[in-house]
């Protein structure tokens, strides 16, 4: 959790499993995820290839 800023994740390669405040999402290449500040969040690679993301704060 971050108190001072939000994050925006863009999946560049692979598949991302994201949990934000107990809600689970699957994002693929070219998709993005917004993580609001103070949200509990987690990122996981459920796939077999490397996961690459770009994080913008």
pLDDT value of residue 6: 95
pLDDT digits (tens, 9 = 90+) for 11-50: 999 999 999 999 999 999 999 999 999 999 999 999 999 9
Domain range summary for the chain, segments of one domain joined by +: 7-56
Q: Sorting pLDDT into bands at 50, 70 and 90, what band is 4?
A: confident
Top-tier CATH class for 7-56: mainly beta
Could you tell me if 9 and 55 are in contact, meaning their C-beta atoms sit under 8 angstroms apart?
Answer: yes
Per-residue confidence (pLDDT) for residue 33, from 0 to 100: 96
pLDDT at residue 1 in the model: 80
d(CA 20, CA 16) in angstroms, rounded, equals 12
Tokens of 22: 């107990």
pTM: 0.85
């Amino acid at each position: 959790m971050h108190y001072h800023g939000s994050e925006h994740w863009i999946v560049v390669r692979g598949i991302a499993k994201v949990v934000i405040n107990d809600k689970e999402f699957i994002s693929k290449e070219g998709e993005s995820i917004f993580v609001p500040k103070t949200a509990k969040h987690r990122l996981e690679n459920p796939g077999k290839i490397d996961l690459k993301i770009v994080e913008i704060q």
